[in-house]
């Protein structure tokens, strides 16, 4: 039996950092949604009792440093599985980009192995296990659109946002999430109320209100360090985006528009400037 599992990227429609917790994590509140830019995992049983990874890009580690390996190992240990597995990762999501590529691969591994090994876990159980690998993994287990609280692992599912185009551009830099959070000063922590505003906009399927509610607390930190991120934001706005925001800790910036002609203009305008440019649709709902 061979399984193909899709691992879609996410974008942050909002991200508020509320405060730093005694355990060192930041308490966040964010609305996230999955988009039609995805890695594809091929999972197949292996006679030998080991985890073998392979990947379409050569610069990702294929050992216990890979989130896919960590997810497979976690399930083997949790359920005393003495079978092996081979997982091929067809990598399409840019790495260290603020799009949760690694987290989504881990979530897809959990969903895939739950099926391959007949583990019988429900979504909540898979999300709980995933939270041991990373804060974004529970959201990626569910997919769709959700409000995430806590360190990102407490998920409240939302309805789909209004359909629109998402044009993403990633400058050729990798940003460390820990570094960006670390640079945020205590006086910058606050609840902007934008997540609530975003949830209302999504509920009303009001595209312009979604654009007006876009907000990311980490953006100012990354913009200050990497001027090229600001430049991309400015270009996207100039090419006609209805809303523009950096995703997660960056450096990927996305533009939203509900008009295909504008999506084309933004995509073509950015392509000469950045290598990693994508024009995709919001997936919105959970599609597995």
Contact residues for ligand ATP, defined by CB under 6 A? 60, 65-68, 89, 95-103, 105, 136, 177, 248-249
Counts for the chain of helices (H) and strands (E), in that order? 10, 12
105 belongs to the catalytic site? no
Q: Which residue is nearest to ligand ATP (CB)?
A: 102
Q: Which of 91, 84, 86, 85 is nearest to 55 (CA)?
A: 91
The CA distance from 269 to 233, in Å, is 12
Q: Of the two residues 101 and 112, which places its CB atom closer to ligand ATP in the complex?
A: 101
Q: Of the two residues 161 and 248, which places its CB atom closer to ligand ATP in the complex?
A: 248
Q: Smallest gap, in angstroms, from Cβ of residue 287 to ligand ATP?
A: 20
Q: Smallest gap, in angstroms, from Cβ of residue 168 to ligand ATP?
A: 11
Q: Which of 39, 105, 136, 242 is catalytic?
A: 136
36 belongs to the catalytic site? no
- Sorted by sequence, the CB contacts under 8 Å of residue 187 that are 6+ apart come out as none
Q: Smallest gap, in angstroms, from Cβ of residue 53 to ligand ATP?
A: 8
158 beta partners: 145
Q: Smallest gap, in angstroms, from Cβ of residue 150 to ligand ATP?
A: 15
Q: Of the two residues 53 and 121, which places its CB atom closer to ligand ATP in the complex?
A: 53
> Do residues 227 and 137 touch, judged by C-beta distance below 8 A?
no
> Do residues 279 and 187 touch, judged by C-beta distance below 8 A?
no
Q: Of the two residues 34 and 103, which places its CB atom closer to ligand ATP in the complex?
A: 103
> Do residues 143 and 286 touch, judged by C-beta distance below 8 A?
yes
Q: Which of 10, 76, 170, 194 is catalytic?
A: 10
> Do residues 17 and 88 touch, judged by C-beta distance below 8 A?
no
* Residues catalogued as catalytic: 10, 136
């Amino acid at each position: 039996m061979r399984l193909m599992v899709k691992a879609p990227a996410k974008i942050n429609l909002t991200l508020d950092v509320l405060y730093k917790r005694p355990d060192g994590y930041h308490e966040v509140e964010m609305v996230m949604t999955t988009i039609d830019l995805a890695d594809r995992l091929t999972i197949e049983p292996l006679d030998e009792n080991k985890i073998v990874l392979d990947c379409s890009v050569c610069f990702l580690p294929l050992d216990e440093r890979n989130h896919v390996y960590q997810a497979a190992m976690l399930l083997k240990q949790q359920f005393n599985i003495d079978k092996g597995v081979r997982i091929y990762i067809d990598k399409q999501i840019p790495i260290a980009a603020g799009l949760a590529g690694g987290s989504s691969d881990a979530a897809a591994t959990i969903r895939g192995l739950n099926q391959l090994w007949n583990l019988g876990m429900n979504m909540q159980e898979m999300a709980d296990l995933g939270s041991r690998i990373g804060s974004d993994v529970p959201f990626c287990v569910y997919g769709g659109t959700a409000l995430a609280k806590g360190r990102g692992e407490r998920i409240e599912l939302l309805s789909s946002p209004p359909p629109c185009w998402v044009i993403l551009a990633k400058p050729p830099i990798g940003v460390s999430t820990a570094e960006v959070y670390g640079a945020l000063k205590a006086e910058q922590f606050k609840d902007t109320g934008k997540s609530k505003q975003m949830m209302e906009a999504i509920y009303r399927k009001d595209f312009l209100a979604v654009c007006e509610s876009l907000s990311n607390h980490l953006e100012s930190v990354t913009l200050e360090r990497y001027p090229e991120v600001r430049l991309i934001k400015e270009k996207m706005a100039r090419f006609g985006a209805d809303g523009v925001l950096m995703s997660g800790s960056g450096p990927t910036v996305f533009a939203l528009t509900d008009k295909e002609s504008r999506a084309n203009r933004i995509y073509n305008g950015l392509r000469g400037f950045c290598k990693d440019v994508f024009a995709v649709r919001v997936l919105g709902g959970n599609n597995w």
